[in-house]
């Protein structure tokens, strides 16, 4: 076999040159970590002040659009930025280039103000792999502690039923959090059902179920208290279970929201007329316009005195075939930087104002951005060439793709100069760990570091 010069390892390369390259890589990496600390500070402030709330669902969604991060790293940047707000030692170590972003990202998964100092020592002493293994072990101890607490709550559950001498029954109990949440929701639904029943039978004043002919003096003029409503609701739940069985079955259908709105209000939000829910609750005209964009529609005609004269058949605002074409074309929400796969149909020019229900007059918007366009002042129109234009409530154009940031001619030298001006003296050994090559005993490390370990030895 012929041996060519190119096949010879880099041993012929000058050792000093390779050392120089290695030092430059290490130094520049530390500079980038220090710059990342400043970036996270900016993200934390931007997030806290709601700078992303210009039509975006979250700060991570804004970063995806404005900076070009993919959703996963964007969410991690926001998470780490928030965590560092309460972890000053880790934040300072990253800002000085002493810890890499990879280490800090892992440490912030478990660090608290009480454990931050000892975890900082882990980051300085070990490699990124060591940090990841210790964090995994730390989280296993946390998970075990959480499981013990969950088991304790489960063992403490109970419901005691007492019957007093007067025949009244007293209940006292402790329920697990998720069971209690189900009970609270069930009682609320039962109270609402009883309230609607009283309204339908004219018993909103507490006279429901009172025998006819009973003197008014014998009827309490006070509406039932919340405690009395809760008792009645629990009785209704028990009766319902006995009547229909205790098999929970499949989840029920979602409630349908019915809005009654006068036609002039849909065409002009400033026009006089009603816009109310089924129970009489007022909603804004713009909310009615949003709901009417993509909903079933029933047209009713009334006489001047309010008498109902005619009721039309229920129709879909957007026919099924057109909806399929809309979903195929838009592939999700069209608001810049969103792209959620599910969307509602939005009429660019509302059908109540004469806008056609055609593909060119429709676009898909997620629930949040549909509300933004109707109730929060955002605007959208389609240019003659078919391109959509979104504008903020101030009228400022919201571009589909943000403008690129200005980059200095020599970004590396600019970064070094900026850090030197800040008094940071970063070199090739700034982020070097103190590890001397000895094997890592994760179980021992967790026993020493974790306040809840109690001699627990998780496997590495």
The total domain count for the chain is: 3
Residues 61 and 133 in one domain: yes
Residues 51 and 141 reside in one and the same domain: yes
Q: Provide the pLDDT confidence category of residue 259 given band limits of 50, 70 and 90.
A: low
Last residue of a domain, one of 282, 316, 350: 316
Q: What is the mean pLDDT of the chain?
A: 79
Over residues 151-169, mean pLDDT: 83
Q: Using CA atoms, how far apart are residues 377 and 55, in angstroms rounded to an integer?
A: 10
pLDDT surpasses 80 at 112: yes
- The percent of residues in the chain predicted with pLDDT above 90, rounded, is 22
Shared-domain flag, residues 17 and 113: yes
Asked if residue 5 is part of any domain, the answer here is: no
| Number of helices followed by number of strands (H, E) in the chain | 15, 13
Task: Please give the backbone phi and psi of residue 385, each rounded to the nearest 5 degrees, phi first.
Answer: -90, 5
Would 339 be classed as within a structural domain?
A: yes
What is the number of residues in the chain?
460
What CA–CA distances, in Å, run from 29 to 89, 96, 433? 20, 12, 14
Band (pLDDT 50/70/90 cuts) for residue 48 is very high
Question: Which band of pLDDT confidence, cut at 50, 70 and 90, is reported for residue 277?
Answer: low
On whether residue 220 sits in a domain, the answer given is no
Q: In the prediction, which pLDDT does 106 show?
A: 94
Give the range of the structural domain holding residue 277, as residue numbers without chain letter.
259-316
Which of 276, 294, 316 delimits the end of a domain?
316
Q: What is the pTM of this model?
A: 0.61
Whether 190 is covered by a domain: the verdict is: no
Side-chain-side CA neighbours of residue 394 (13 Å): 5
Same domain? For 327 and 347 the reply is yes
**240-244, 309-313, 361-365: range with lowest mean pLDDT:** 309-313
What does the alpha-carbon distance between residue 338 and residue 61 come to, in Å, rounded to a whole number?
A: 7
Same domain? For 107 and 36 the reply is yes
**For residue 313, what are its two tokens?**
């058949």
- Kindly indicate the confidence band of residue 169, based on its pLDDT and cuts at 50, 70 and 90: confident
pLDDT (0 to 100) of residue 120 = 94
In a domain, 118, yes or no: yes
Strand partners, 302: 308
pLDDT at 73: 93
396-449 pLDDT per residue, tens? 888 887 777 777 788 888 888 888 888 888 888 888 888 877 788 888 888 888
Residue 157 lies in a domain: no
Report d(CA 419, CA 38) in Å as an integer.
11
Residue 57 pLDDT greater than 90, yes or no: no
Same domain, residue pair 329 and 341: yes
DSSP string, 284-353: -HHHHHHHHHTSEE--EEE-TTS-EEEEPPPEESS-HHHHHHHHHHH-S--STT---S--EEEESS-GGG
Question: Does residue 27 register a pLDDT over 80?
Answer: yes
Element (H, E) at 397: strand 397-398
Is the domain of 63 the same as that of 139?
yes
- On the question of pLDDT at 7 being above 60, the answer is no
Residue 40 sits in the same domain as residue 102 = yes
Do 145 and 19 belong to one domain?
Answer: yes
What distance in Å separates the CA atoms of residue 47 and residue 61, rounded to the nearest whole number? 11
In a domain, 280, yes or no: yes
56 plus 131 within the same structural domain: yes
CA distance 181 to 231: 17
Residue 392 resides in a domain: yes
pLDDT at 371: 85
Task: Report the alpha-carbon distance of residue 259 to residue 281 in Å, rounded.
Answer: 9
Residues 286 and 301 reside in one and the same domain: yes
Tell which wins on pLDDT, 80 or 250: 80
Displacement of CA 306 from its chain's centroid (Å): 45
Residues 364 and 392 occupy one common structural domain? yes
């Amino acid at each position: 076999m012929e041996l060519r010069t190119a096949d010879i390892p880099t041993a012929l390369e000058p050792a000093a040159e390779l050392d120089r390259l290695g030092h430059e890589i290490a130094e520049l990496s530390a500079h980038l970590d220090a710059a990342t600390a400043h970036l996270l500070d900016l993200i934390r402030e931007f997030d806290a002040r709601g700078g992303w709330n210009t039509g975006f669902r979250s700060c991570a969604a804004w970063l995806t659009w404005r900076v070009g991060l993919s959703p996963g790293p964007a969410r991690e940047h926001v998470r780490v930025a928030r965590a560092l707000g309460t972890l000053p030692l880790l934040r300072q170590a990253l800002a000085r280039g002493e810890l890499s972003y990879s280490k800090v990202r892992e440490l912030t998964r478990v660090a608290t103000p009480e454990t931050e100092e000892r975890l900082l020592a882990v980051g300085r002493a070990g490699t990124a792999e060591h940090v990841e293994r210790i964090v995994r072990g730390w989280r296993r101890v946390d998970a075990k502690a959480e499981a013990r607490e969950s088991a304790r709550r489960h063992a403490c559950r109970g419901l005691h039923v007492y019957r007093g001498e007067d025949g009244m029954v007293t209940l006292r109990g402790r329920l697990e959090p998720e069971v209690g949440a189900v009970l609270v929701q069930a009682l609320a639904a039962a109270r609402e059902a009883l309230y609607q029943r009283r309204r339908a039978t004219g018993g909103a004043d507490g006279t429901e179920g009172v025998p006819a002919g009973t003197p008014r003096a014998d009827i309490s003029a006070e509406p039932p208290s919340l405690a009395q409503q809760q008792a009645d609701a629990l009785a209704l739940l028990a009766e319902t279970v006995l009547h229909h069985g205790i098999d929970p079955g499949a989840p029920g259908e979602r409630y349908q929201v019915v809005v009654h709105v006068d036609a002039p209000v849909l065409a002009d939000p400033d026009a006089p007329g009603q816009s109310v829910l089924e129970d009489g609750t007022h909603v804004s005209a713009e909310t009615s316009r949003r709901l009417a964009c993509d909903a079933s529609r029933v047209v009713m005609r009334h006489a001047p005195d309010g008498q109902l004269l005619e009721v039309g058949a229920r129709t879909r605002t957007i026919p099924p075939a057109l909806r399929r074409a809309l979903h195929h074309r838009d592939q999700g929400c069209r608001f810049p930087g969103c792209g959620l796969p599910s969307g509602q149909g939005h009429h660019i020019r509302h059908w109540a104002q004469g806008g056609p229900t055609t593909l060119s007059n429709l676009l898909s918007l997620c629930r949040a951005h549909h509300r933004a366009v109707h109730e929060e002042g955002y605007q959208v129109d389609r240019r003659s060439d078919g391109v959509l234009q979104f504008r903020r409530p101030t009228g400022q154009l919201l571009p589909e793709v943000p403008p690129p940031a200005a980059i200095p001619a020599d970004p590396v030298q600019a970064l070094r100069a900026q850090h030197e001006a800040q008094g940071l003296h970063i070199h090739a050994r700034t982020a070097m760990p103190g590890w001397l090559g000895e094997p890592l005993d994760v179980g021992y490390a967790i026993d020493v570091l974790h306040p809840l370990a109690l001699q627990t030895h998780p496997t590495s």
